[in-house]
Amino acid sequence: MIFFETRGLERKEFFSSFSMKDMHFPMHFHRAYELIFVEAGEITIAIDHKEYWLKENDLAFIFPNQLHEFKGGTASEMLITQFSPELVEPFYTKYKHMVPQCNIIHLLNWPAKEKISTQFGQLSFLYSLCDDLLNQTKFEVKKTEEQSRVLHRMLSLVEQKFAQECSLLSIAGELQYDYSYLSKLFIQKMHMSFTEYLNQYRISKACYMILNTQRPIGEIAAECGYRNLRTFHRNFKMIAGMSPKAYRLMQD
């Protein structure tokens, strides 16, 4: 299952939740709203390059197209919920050009599954969170400077092409920007090279598939853009700190 960036692009109503443990995911964005609820442990999350530290029962309420990344600590458990702007249309329409000054809410607990198993239960829950956010923070107009727009386009192309041959040179050609300019811009905004980001992105996708499916490691590597299995194993161990096989066994 591939999740994240394409969520919400279809402009149809959807509501999806899934659990993650000890997971890291590099900077990305998507049209969907995203809720990251900490069920256990601690995580750090950066939203538009503003860093937060979250503990049990804290929730990050991420708006459409906000750049964000998260890093789970040891024994951290997160519940990720993504939902389309169409589900909260009046709220989205009023605040679609704005972002919260603070994206974090503390909840007493997450509602039981049966309470959000129907469309009306989901709407009740989501609008309650929207109200909590409005009562606890101010909103500001989202800045859309040219460099940020270019970076968004680069990250969007990585999401589209990560499973294929994907290089900064090909992206520069598609966007019709100078290669050197994009390379410097990416390092300035992301604090890593394009190649480092691409590998982190691919390995994060692979971690999710290893954790949530029983598909063969070689098949997962190929789907994440690695044509050479040795390269995949080397990058996986460097980024995840262990082999793909050990990662799968650790989650059992």
* pTM recorded for the entire structure: 0.75
Q: Is 70 inside any structural domain?
A: yes
User: In whole angstroms, what is the distance from residue 87 CA to residue 127 CA?
Assistant: 9
CATH of the domain at 123: 2.60.120.10
Let me know whether 109 and 127 are in one domain: yes
pLDDT digits (tens, 9 = 90+) for 91-101: 999 999 999 99
Let me know whether 24 and 40 are in one domain: yes
pLDDT at 6 over 90: no
pLDDT digits (tens, 9 = 90+) for 141-198: 987 778 888 998 999 899 899 999 899 999 999 999 999 999 999 998 888 999 999 9
pLDDT of residue 35: 96
Let me know whether 134 and 181 are in one domain: no
pLDDT of residue 3: 38
pLDDT of residue 1: 27
Q: Is 8 inside any structural domain?
A: no
Let me know whether 80 and 103 are in one domain: yes
pLDDT digits (tens, 9 = 90+) for 23-42: 788 888 888 999 999 999 99
Which among 122, 141, 160 is the end of a domain? 141
Q: Is 6 inside any structural domain?
A: no
Let me know whether 163 and 232 are in one domain: yes
Let me know whether 135 and 215 are in one domain: no
Let me know whether 97 and 155 are in one domain: no
Token code pair at residue 110: 């997450």
Let me know whether 113 and 54 are in one domain: yes
